[in-house]
Amino acid sequence: MYRVGSVVRTAQGLLVLRAEGEGDETEIGTMVLDDSLEKVGRVVDVFGPVSRPYVAVTPNPSVHAPGLVGSTLYARA
């Protein structure tokens, strides 16, 4: 597992994460998990500066997105 990034905000129904590194290992379609290994959603976009991009995640319907702001999310390698 590796850290995808921290949730910095929600926007238009998406979770916006700030990537931990260059985001090279995070691809569109990657399943994102919380710290208890529950499925949060899937990556739909990687954007912004190459050195530290943002990652947009579409949350699963059962996820309360605003409650995740400030949380670190993960993905399986």
So what's the pLDDT on residue 51? 86
The tens digit of pLDDT for each residue in 17-64 reads 999 876 567 899 999 999 999 999 999 999 999 888 999 999 999 999
pLDDT-derived band at 4, boundaries 50, 70, 90: very high
Ordered structural domains, the chain, with CATH: 2-75 (2.40.10.230)
Give the separation between CA 4 and CA 62, rounded to whole angstroms: 20
